[in-house]
């Protein structure tokens, strides 16, 4: 029986792991991977103390910090299960059972820190051409399409950040946005990206179909005002249409908001039932960034420790 099970290996999960180790809690740490969403970015900004760092380097630093405690000398006890996926958390007598793709564990408390994943594009051809031109990671796949015409779907910050990366080496970047205004992106980023001579924008439009033979060759978009369909030739479609919360494994246990995020008490990070906490992007806090995720998790750990030791 563990004191605490932490589920998630982003900044929230890792911060929780470090604090749990320092507090000498008998801790289970389940994470599919270390680093979280930031690993998709080449330039993570303002991780406090570090103005710029690549997502992969941030992941390495997080893992090193965690292992310093988990594998370090002394009686610190964090049991790392990296590469394992939590599939269901259930309440049992006096504890929680945590099922994973490998086995089942028991813990007195659970911190949900599983963040978010990319929302999939659901139009004809999108699933068929995934990894054949349809992609969810510009820093992973972008260079394959150097000197070619590419499309980005989504006019939020992630869409503009992706466009900015691609503009460095693609022949042209066409961003497809479903509205007239870019309300979900920072004005400074929008202006800088739109000013680039290789940048094109199609507003008030939605994708209808991805076409191709073996690989993507075009995308069909519908003008939302006129209803007219047009075909844009492209070898790649970078999808940036938002995130879904990784909370399926607790959806029958705790209250979630309309976006599937765990509802929490912002003072303590406690979820709707005793013994469960949530931190970072999978919680319904108003703001989400790496520093916030780590801070949320530290706050949760203080409260979990108090709960375990004081029984309330």
- Segment lying near ligand FAD (by CB under 6 A), choices 9-17, 196-204, 226-234, 269-277: 9-17
Report the chain's terminal Cα–Cα distance, integer Å: 19
Q: Of 46-105, which residues contact ligand FAD (CB under 6 A)? A: 46, 85-86
113 lies in the binding site for ligand FAD (CB under 6 A): yes
The span from the CA of 27 to the CA of 4, in Å, is 5
Q: How far is the CB of 215 from ligand FAD (least distance, A)?
A: 24
Token pair listed for 216: 């993507």
Strands (E), the chain: 2-7, 27-31, 44-47, 50-53, 78-82, 86-92, 95-100, 104-112, 116-118, 134-135, 149-153, 172-176, 199-202, 205-212, 216-223, 229-233, 236-239, 243-245, 276-278
- Segment lying near ligand FAD (by CB under 6 A), choices 2-10, 145-153, 207-215, 301-309: 2-10
Beta bridge partners of 124: 209
Identify the residue among 4, 5, 6, 12 touching ligand FAD (CB under 6 A). Answer: 12
- Cβ atoms of 11 and 113 within 8 Å: the answer is no
36 lies in the binding site for ligand FAD (CB under 6 A): yes
137 lies in the binding site for ligand FAD (CB under 6 A): no
Beta bridge partners of 80: 29
Site size with ligand FAD, rule: CB under 6 A: 36
The span from the CA of 82 to the CA of 8, in Å, is 9
Choose among 290, 131, 123: nearest CA to 208. 123
165 lies in the binding site for ligand FAD (CB under 6 A): no
- Segment lying near ligand FAD (by CB under 6 A), choices 44-52, 91-99, 202-210, 231-239: 44-52
158 lies in the binding site for ligand FAD (CB under 6 A): yes
288 lies in the binding site for ligand FAD (CB under 6 A): yes
299 lies in the binding site for ligand FAD (CB under 6 A): no
Residue closer to ligand FAD (CB basis): 151 or 221: 151
Q: Of 180-239, which residues contact ligand FAD (CB under 6 A)? A: none
Residue closer to ligand FAD (CB basis): 150 or 158: 158
Give the three-state DSSP class for 309: helix
Q: How far is the CB of 35 from ligand FAD (least distance, A)?
A: 6
Q: How far is the CB of 74 from ligand FAD (least distance, A)?
A: 26
Q: How far is the CB of 299 from ligand FAD (least distance, A)?
A: 13
Q: How far is the CB of 243 from ligand FAD (least distance, A)?
A: 7
Rounded to the nearest angstrom, the gap between the alpha carbon of residue 185 and the centroid of all alpha carbons in its chain is 17
How many other C-beta atoms are found inside a 10 Å radius of the C-beta of residue 57?
16
Q: How far is the CB of 214 from ligand FAD (least distance, A)?
A: 28
247 lies in the binding site for ligand FAD (CB under 6 A): no
Q: Which residues of 124-133 are buried (b: 16+ CB within 10 A; e: fewer)?
A: ebbeebbeeb
- Cβ atoms of 225 and 202 within 8 Å: the answer is no
- Segment lying near ligand FAD (by CB under 6 A), choices 11-19, 64-72, 103-111, 190-198: 11-19
- Cβ atoms of 279 and 12 within 8 Å: the answer is yes
Rounded to the nearest angstrom, the gap between the alpha carbon of residue 279 and the centroid of all alpha carbons in its chain is 13
Binding residues (CB under 6 A) for ligand FAD: these are 7-13, 30-33, 36-38, 40-41, 44-46, 85-86, 113-116, 158, 161, 246, 249, 280-281, 288-291, 293
């Amino acid at each position: 029986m563990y004191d605490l099970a932490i589920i998630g290996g982003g900044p929230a999960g890792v911060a929780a792991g470090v604090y749990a180790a320092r507090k000498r809690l008998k801790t289970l740490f389940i994470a599919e991977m270390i680093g979280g969403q930031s690993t998709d970015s080449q330039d993570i900004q303002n991780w406090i103390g570090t103005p710029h760092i690549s997502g992969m380097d941030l992941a390495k630093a997080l893992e090193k910090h965690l292992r310093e405690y988990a594998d370090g000398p002394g009686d610190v006890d964090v049991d790392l299960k990296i590469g394992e996926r939590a599939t269901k958390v259930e309440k049992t007598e006096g504890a929680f059972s945590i099922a994973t793709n490998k086995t089942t564990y028991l813990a007195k408390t659970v911190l949900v820190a599983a963040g978010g994943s990319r929302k999939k594009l659901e139009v004809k051809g999108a699933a068929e051409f995934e990894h054949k031109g349809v992609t969810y990671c510009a820093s992973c796949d972008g260079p394959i399409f150097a000197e070619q015409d590419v499309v980005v779907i989504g006019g939020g910050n992630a869409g503009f950040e992706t466009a900015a990366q691609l503009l460095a080496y693609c022949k042209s970047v066409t961003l497809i946005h479903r509205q007239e205004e870019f309300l979900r992106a920072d004005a400074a980023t929008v202006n800088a990206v739109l000013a680039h001579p290789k940048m094109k924008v199609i507003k008030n439009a939605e994708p209808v179909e991805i076409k191709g033979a073996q690989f993507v060759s075009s995308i069909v978009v519908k003008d939302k005002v006129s209803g007219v369909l047009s075909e844009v030739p492209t070898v790649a479609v970078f999808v940036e249409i938002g995130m879904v919360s990784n909370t399926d494994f607790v959806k029958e246990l705790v209250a979630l908001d309309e976006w599937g995020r765990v509802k929490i008490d912002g003072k303590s990070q406690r979820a709707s039932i005793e013994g469960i906490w949530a931190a970072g992007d999978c919680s319904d806090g108003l703001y989400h960034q790496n520093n916030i995720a780590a801070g949320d998790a530290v706050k949760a750990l203080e409260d979990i420790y108090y709960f375990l030791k004081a029984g309330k």
